[in-house]
Amino acid sequence: MFGFTQGCLPMPRWDDLNAFFEKSGAKIVFGLNALNGRVPLQGGAMGGNWDTTNAASFIRYTAGKGYKIYGWELGNELSGTGVGTKVGVAQYVKDAIALKTTVDTIYRGSPEKPLVLAPGGFFDARWYGEFIAKTKPDMLNVVTHHIYNLGAGVDRDTQLMDRILNPKTLDGMAGPFRDLQGLLKAAGTSAVAWVGESGGAYNSGHHLVTDAFVFSFWFLDQLGMSAKFDTKSYCRQSFIGGNYGLLNTTTFQPNPDYYR
């Protein structure tokens, strides 16, 4: 997917990162590759069971080192119509349960067990409804969804600013927040809702818009809406990187959104 299929995280690098995590006090949620072991299907979908071998080895190494991981998340933007490709909901349910079983086995007897999160995609009411119903009551701790409701970052800056300052555009996200919370309550699951990733404008945002003061209006609205609909965590894209980073990597000074 997107040229990173052969990417690799060496364990010495992972050790270094965990040393940084410990010093910073950050709570780490790690996203796992949910396409491992799958085969292409017609219509752009991927099928077959998720191969847990690599993920289980990585989680086992992490637990053995005593590294504190707040949660393990399965996949990235594969729900509904997906981004680039997709996985059917029945299959994703099986794979999420496989991750839960893996985490429970590896952390058995541990006083602190990481959360299990999924699917980390864009909200599709039918797909999410079935996913939540079939993972209840406790196969998942967190149901995650992503938000990029301002469109593409490559759009003209005036177009993006108009959307940021348009109450109708901002209020348009109330539906997914409300509907997801309704699905969770109706299912009787113990899982809670998180925004697992959100940067407003996809494709890395837009310089002098999504890293400027005007973007604060969008972010504040998002935080308020999340609170109103009982979203337990909001993970902002990104701390560094792209044009929506909270930190200026040249000066190391926070961008305006950092203070929200």
Of 126, 125, 249, 257, which is closest to residue 200 (Cα–Cα)?
A: 257
pLDDT in tens, 73-85: 999 999 999 999 9
Q: Mean pLDDT, consecutive 10-residue segments, the chain of 260 residues?
A: 72 98 97 96 94 98 98 98 96 98 97 97 98 97 98 92 96 97 98 98 94 94 97 95 91 84
d(CA 29, CA 114): 9
CB atoms inside a 10 Å sphere around CB 5: 9
What is the pLDDT, as a whole number, of residue 222? Answer: 97
Which entry of 22, 73, 130, 197 is annotated as an active-site residue?
197
What is the pLDDT, as a whole number, of residue 3? Answer: 59
What is the pLDDT, as a whole number, of residue 249? Answer: 87
Q: For helices 89-106 and 53-64, what crossing angle results, to 10°?
A: 30
Which entry of 73, 77, 112, 130 is annotated as an active-site residue?
77
Of 154, 128, 135, which is closest to residue 210 (Cα–Cα)?
A: 154
Known catalytic membership, residue 130: no
What is the pLDDT, as a whole number, of residue 260? Answer: 64
3-state percent helix, strand, coil for the chain, nearest multiple of 5: 40, 15, 45
pLDDT in tens, 48-70: 999 999 999 999 999 999 999 99
What is the pLDDT, as a whole number, of residue 181? Answer: 98
